[in-house]
A and B are shown apart, each in its own frame.
Chain A
């Protein structure tokens, strides 16, 4: 994995480290686009604090901000968050691949044994 991908992955983990940031992501995941007010409705924190959380999410590439006049709309950027999940999935694939190789190896062993058995089977027939 290239360094810049690692950095992106780290930021993705940081992005979801806070419950309010996860809440924002959850809300955005259910809608195409939300205004900042909609995405952070009911949050028991100040506006500057909200801005800080949004900045973390933006820096991580988790969300995209679309500025339309005085309205700021937020949209989920699925790709960057996928990366964190994809890394673990790749570790799983490594094991799946090892199992494939083990399976093939066992089949070759059994085939080799089967070839040796053949004369005996013919003798018995």
Chain B
């Protein structure tokens, strides 16, 4: 289950795993997982020059495309580390994207609904910078809903 709120620039994603909260939390923070996740293509060269899992510690992920071009880079700082319940970190794209050099926040909650079953909720908040959000204002969803009803492919 997931949704995108374009009014607030929030992305919410949820999924349930057949594992304990500790196992999921540890997997989430595992450098090997980060490295695999970032590899959109087997040819991509992924480096994690910084990964300091403690409050105030930073991380940095870099993906180099084999064909060249601009690296995809994101960095941030860990703000809350409560194993195995919750992980909060800042998130900032580098480069030229619409939110480059704009800090957003990722909050990951790990809830063990039953022994060996954990629901993870990711909330990526503040994805749009102030200008985008102000320009965006309300009504965008209404426009999109109208698109949905108008037969325009989306």
Do A and B pair up? The answer is yes
Interface residues of A (CB under 8 A from B): 1, 3, 6, 9-10, 13-14, 16-17, 19, 22, 25-26, 29-30, 76, 78, 81-82, 84-85, 87-89, 91-92, 95-99, 101-106, 109-110
* Residue from the list A1, A30, A106, A109 in contact with B98, Cβ < 8 A: A1
Determine the interface band of chain B, counting residues with CB < 8 A from chain A.
35 or more
Are B98 and A10 neighbours in the complex by a CB distance under 8 Å? yes
Residue of B whose beta carbon sits closest to that of A98: B37
B7 to chain A, nearest CB (A): 11
Which residues in A have their C-beta under 8 angstroms from that of B128?
88
Query: Given the known A-B contacts A6-B98, A9-B98, A29-B146, are A92 and B37 also in contact in the complex, defined by CB atoms under 8 Å?
Result: no
Interface residues of B (CB under 8 A from A): 2-4, 6, 9, 11, 13, 15, 17-19, 23-24, 27-28, 30, 32-33, 36-37, 40, 96-98, 120, 122, 124, 127-128, 132, 134-137, 139-140, 142-144, 146-147, 149-150, 152-154
* Residue from the list B27, B124, B142 in contact with A22, Cβ < 8 A: B142
* Residue from the list A1, A103, A106 in contact with B96, Cβ < 8 A: A1
Are B142 and A26 neighbours in the complex by a CB distance under 8 Å? yes
Residue of A whose beta carbon sits closest to that of B141: A85
